[in-house]
Structure 1
Amino acid sequence: MMNFSAMQAPLLLWQQMAHMAWESQMVIALRTAGMMGILRQDASEPQRMVVEKADAATEALHAALRAAGRGARADRVMAAALRPYRKRTRANVRRLSK
């Protein structure tokens, strides 16, 4: 018998990564426009940009280790590691595009 959820998991993971890649490009474009003075941007945005990457990396590592420690499949470990980054890119697009 075929396990369709296991077959669908890589596609869902790819979809999440594609969304995050698109959102990341939007954030880069919006921040660049802000640094060039084209868009209004908070003065602390460059510092925030650096700090959030370190925070996301720490959260991603912990999430992946927790998932792996529970014996999760590789795609679920990857999805757990991706979640903190995706949360931040989504929030940044919303915040910077206002």
Structure 2
Amino acid sequence: MGKYASPLDLWRTGMEVSMLVAETQAVMTLRMMGMAGVWSVTPSENSRMVSEKLPAFAKSATAAGTAIMTGKRPDQVMSAAVKPLRSKTRANSRRLAKRGLKVK
């Protein structure tokens, strides 16, 4: 690893952030549809969306802090911070998408 980020490193970090944004938007949309009674969600979904945030952000901050303390480049710090958040958004988007429309 060099002292400076390559264009590919920057592109990769940008794609990770873009995927985080897209997955977050999908999760928010599916959960809002669940609240509206259109999408099939479990009764615990509302409490789940609140309770999962603090641990995810704590892991993100810890990973970023560790990357900073070990002398990583800014793009590597950002990637370290995004990784735990993406793991949650990816899992949530896949889980919610499988549930489908609510059938009465």
Check whether TM > 0.5: yes
* Other-structure match for 2:94: 94
Matches of 1:91 and 1:42, distance apart in 2: 15
Q: Unpaired runs of 5+ in structure 1?
A: none
Matches of 2:93 and 2:7, distance apart in 1: 31
- The higher-RCO structure (CA 8 Å, 6+ apart) is 2
> Could you tell me how far 1:92 is from its partner in structure 2?
0.5
**CA deviation profile, 1:6-65 (whole Å, cap 9, x unmatched):** 222111111111111111111111001111111111111111101111111100011011
Ranges of 4+ aligned residues in structure 1 off by more than 3 Å = none
1:51-70 alignment to 2 at 5 Å? 51-70=51-70
* Other-structure match for 2:15: 15
Q: Is the 8 A contact 2:4 2:73 kept in 1?
A: no
TM value normalised by structure 1? 0.90
The DSSP-based 3-state class of the residue aligned with 1:86 is helix
Aligned residues: percent identity? 38
Q: Is the 8 A contact 2:60 2:83 kept in 1?
A: yes
TM value normalised by structure 2? 0.85
> How many residues are aligned here?
96
Matched, 1:76 2:90: no
Structure whose residues are more often helix by fraction: 1
